[in-house]
Amino acid sequence: MLRSFLSTFVEYTTDVFPYFLLASLIGAILQSLGGARLVSGRLVNSRYAPLFTAGVGAVVPLCSCSMIPVARTINSFSRRSYAPVLSFLITAPVLSPLVILLTFGVFGLEITLLRVLYVLLFALTLSVAVHFLFPKREILPLIQGGFQEERGKLETFLRSFRDLFLSTGKYVLLGLLIASLIKVLVPEELIASFASHFLSYPLIALLSVPIYVCSGEEVPIARSLHELGLTHGQALTFMLASTGICVPTVVALLNFLPRQIVFLYGASWFLVSLLAGFLTDAFLN
C-alpha cells in the first residue's frame, strides 16, 4: 500500500508541478504590473464595472479568505451598486491563473473552458440581478489594505512569486497528499456506486461545503475522485462547491454586505455548482 501511495503521489506531483510553477510566475507578473491600480473609483463605478471586477477576480491570485480585504475595497469604491463586489466575490476564489492552468493540466481544455464559462456567466448574472433587487445607498469610500503598497516592479514580482509559490504551494501539496490517499484507500466500487445515484450532484455539492479547500488544492483531489468513478461533471461540482462556498468567508461578508445578499450568494453558489456538473455531463455525453 505504501508503494502504491508513493507511486501515485509522484505521478500526480509530476503532472501538476509544471502548471503550478507556470501559474505562480504568471500570478507574480500580474501582481507586479497591477498593484493598487486594479481598483479605482472610476473603474468600479463604470457601466461595465461587474465585467471589470469579474476579470480582476479571475486574474489576481486570491483564496476565499484573502479576497475579503479586496472585496471591502471594491464595495467601498462602488457608490451605487453591490454588483461589482458580487462579481468579484464569485470569480476570485475559483478562477485564477493557478486554478485555470491546474485544471487544464489535469482535466484538459473542455473542462477548463466550461469551468471559466460557468463562473463568468454566474458572476455577471447574479451581479446584474443584485443591482436591480438590492439598490445601494451611496457611501463614502473607505480605503482598505487589500493590495500591496507601490514598490519596485522587480521587488514586487520576486516577493509575489515567493508568497504564491510557498503559501499556495503548501495547499497544493496537501491536496496531492489527500488525492493520493483517496486513490489508494477508497474502494473504486464505492465511488462508482455513489456517482450513479440520482442525487449525486446535490450530495456532492452539499458534502463539499464543510470540507472547504484552498484554491488549487481541489484540482488533484477531484482528479483522484474522477479516477475512482466520479464523472467529469461531478468532479467539477466538487471543485466549484469546495472552493466557492467557504463558511468563514460567508460569515465575514455579513460585516459589510446585507444579509439577504450574503444568503443569495451562498445559495446561488450551491445551485450553480450542481447545475454546472449536471450540464457538463450532459454536454460531454
Query: How confident is the model at residue 240, as a pLDDT?
Result: 93
* Phi, psi torsion values for 141, nearest 5 degrees: -60, 140
Average pLDDT of the residues in 86-108: 90
Residue, of 145 and 26, whose pLDDT is higher? 26
**Sign of the Cα pseudo-torsion (207, 211, 212, 218, in order):** negative
Reported as a pLDDT band with limits 50, 70 and 90, residue 110 is very high
What SS3 class is residue 46? coil
Reported as a pLDDT band with limits 50, 70 and 90, residue 17 is confident
Total domains present in the chain: 1
Write down the pTM of the prediction: 0.75
As a whole-number percent, the residues of the chain with pLDDT over 90 amount to: 26
Query: How confident is the model at residue 234, as a pLDDT?
Result: 93
What residue type is 38 in one-letter code?
A: L
Query: How confident is the model at residue 42, as a pLDDT?
Result: 61
Average pLDDT of the residues in 80-96: 90
**Sign of the Cα pseudo-torsion (215, 217, 219, 225, in order):** negative
Reported as a pLDDT band with limits 50, 70 and 90, residue 74 is confident
pLDDT digits 0-9 by tens, 238-249:
999 888 887 767
Query: How confident is the model at residue 60, as a pLDDT?
Result: 75
On the question of pLDDT at 138 being above 80, the answer is: no
The parent domain of residue 170 ranges over 2-284
On the question of pLDDT at 192 being above 80, the answer is: no
What's the alpha-carbon Rg for the chain, to the nearest Å?
Answer: 19
Q: Which of 7, 158, 147, 15 is nearest to 88 (CA)?
A: 147
What residue type is 31 in one-letter code?
A: Q
Query: How confident is the model at residue 26, as a pLDDT?
Result: 64
Q: Which of 103, 94, 58, 54 is nearest to 74 (CA)?
A: 54
On the question of pLDDT at 157 being above 90, the answer is: no
Rounded to the nearest integer, the mean pLDDT of the chain is 79
On the question of pLDDT at 204 being above 90, the answer is: no
Residue, of 109 and 245, whose pLDDT is higher? 109
pLDDT digits 0-9 by tens, 34-46:
544 555 556 677 7
Q: Which of 214, 176, 168 is nearest to 31 (CA)?
A: 168
